[in-house]
Amino acid sequence: MEEAQRRALRRGRARLVEALQVAPLWDPLEERGLFTRTMVEELQSAGSRGDQARQLVIDLETRGKQAFPVFLSILRDTGQGDLADMLIKECECPPVSPQLVDLRPVELDLRGEKRNKNVNFPERLSIPVQAESERPQMPPVPARGSAVDKRNRDLVYELKADPCGHCLILNNVEFSGDTNLSTRDGSNVDCKKLEKRFKSLHFDVLIRHDLKAQEMVSELQKLARRDHRALDCCIVVILSHGCQMSHNQFPGGVYGTDGKPIPIEKIVNYFNGSNCPSLRGKPKLFFIQACGGEQRDRGFPVDSDSPGNEAPGGSLESDATPFRTLSGGTDEPDAVASLPTPSDILVSYSTFPGFVSWRDASRGSWYVETLDNVLEQHARSEDLLNMLTLVANAVSGKGRYKQIPGYFNFLRKKFFFMCK
């Protein structure tokens, strides 16, 4: 599609969302080859009529050179010629000079908000807002089954190998009696879910159960020393008790079954560009289901339309243990080795540093259950960061106690899982 045609769709999007009647379009869009039946069904599931219209306009930009004239023809055939005429006019208009962008101040009144006693907020903030037609447009979400935004291929990690990489899952459930660490009931549920999920996403999955700290280190080092040159990615999943630890880069630590902690940053650094050359430039993903500390978050009052789902009934446990440091009060030397650039690394935490992470004895942890559901529903169309945002939003609305997952992102590109 030519840039003038893309610009016309973007400028006309507001009117199309308001007026476009999408129901008569679905059959002609499929019959004339603009969308497959699967794509049409996905558009129909986007929500309200306006939501469907918005997604249709966004996806049109990805449908090739003939998409714009064919869409105009379908509009006229379905009695919506006025919208076709509007798009033609927008297409003929020259691009607006940056100096002519409409910047309209919008005032946000913060006087009714509760404020921190130690912070003085201004009574009003004036924020320039661009007109919708001139705002920078986000790239369209790839169509279902397509893992790459074709127009921004250089900003997307390419996964061509099958399997696309190794996935190591370390699952600690039973801990030595002298550690005072409880059995992690429900963790095997998490493990089975993630094994099935990552196999479906074309990873070679290896699982190790109930390892002491040094055994965990050995498995991680063994994986880091493997030849990954023919592969495109690597995933490490750790399901264990966790704690706060002093750190330079990545917070937190996880326990072996012998009660000895391993700093997260030590685990991550086994796979950095210096220690694992065959993964240089390739995404290395870490998913940590463990507590970041022992604080319990009761949340704060919100409006009635904010998330408020209660967790299903069951035995609720946490993976918390108190803050501790290693001998001498500092981390081991390997844990603080600096990275020139921590590139192509993402560490996803089940909870905010310092807080507990909740786990249901029968259904598994909130974090893994939600992550698995989001991957099932959105891995074909959404990049990893978008999906982790969905996970955080869903988990944050659960239960009497609160939990908010987060991540440290040093990926250089967007990451889409391989889906068939």
Q: How far apart are CA 29 and CA 36, in angstroms?
A: 8
Q: Provide the pLDDT for residue 406.
A: 86
Encoding tokens for residue 313? 């009934």
Confidence of residue 402 (pLDDT cuts 50, 70, 90): low
**Residue 15 backbone phi and psi in degrees, to 5:** -70, -40
Q: Is the pLDDT of residue 298 over 50?
A: no
Task: Name the least confident of 46-50, 138-142, 325-329, 371-375.
Answer: 325-329
Domain ranges of the chain: 3-92, 100-134, 150-410
Q: Is the pLDDT of residue 342 over 60?
A: yes
Consecutive H or E run containing 169: strand 165-171
Name the architecture of domain 3-92. Orthogonal Bundle (1.10)
Classified as helix, coil or strand, 76 is helix
Cβ atoms of 374 and 394 closer than 8 Å: yes
Identified catalytic residue from 164, 166, 291, 378: 291
Confidence of residue 307 (pLDDT cuts 50, 70, 90): very low
Residue-wise pLDDT for 14-39, tens only, equals: 899 989 999 999 999 999 988 888 88
How are strands ordered across the β-sheet holding 253-255? 242-243, 253-255, 261-263
Task: Name the least confident of 49-63, 335-349, 366-380.
Answer: 335-349
Q: H/E/C letters for each residue in the chain?
A: CCHHHHHHHHHCHHHHHHHCCCHHHHHHHHHCCCCCHHHHHHHHCCCCHHHHHHHHHHHHCCCCCCHHHHHHHHHHHCCCHHHHHHHHHHHHCCCCCHHHCCEEEEEEECCCCCCCCCCCCCCEEEEEEECHHHCCCCCCCCCCCCCCCHHHHHHECCCCCCCCEEEEEEECCCCCHHHCCCCCCCHHHHHHHHHHHHHHCCEEEEEEECCCHHHHHHHHHHHHHCCCCCCCEEEEEEECCEECCCCCCCCCEEECCCCCEEEHHHHHHCCCCCCCHHHCCCCEEEEEECCCCCECECCCCCCCCCCCCCCCCCCEEECECCCCCCHHHCCCHHHHCCCCCCCCEEEEECCCCCECCEEECCCEEHHHHHHHHHHHHHCCCCCHHHHHHHHHHHHHCCCCCECCCEEEEECCCECCCCCC
Active site residue 241: yes
Active site residue 247: no
Domain 150-410 sits in CATH at: 3.40.50.1460
Report the candidate in 81, 43, 48, 46 with the shortest Cα–Cα distance to residue 62.
Answer: 43
Report the candidate in 59, 60, 51, 1 with the shortest Cα–Cα distance to residue 22.
Answer: 51
Q: CB-side exposure of 207: number of CA atoms within 13 Å?
A: 17
Q: Provide the pLDDT for residue 285.
A: 98
Q: How far is CA 336 from the centre of its chain?
A: 27
Identified catalytic residue from 241, 243, 276, 378: 241
Q: Do 150-410 and 3-92 have the same topology in CATH?
A: no
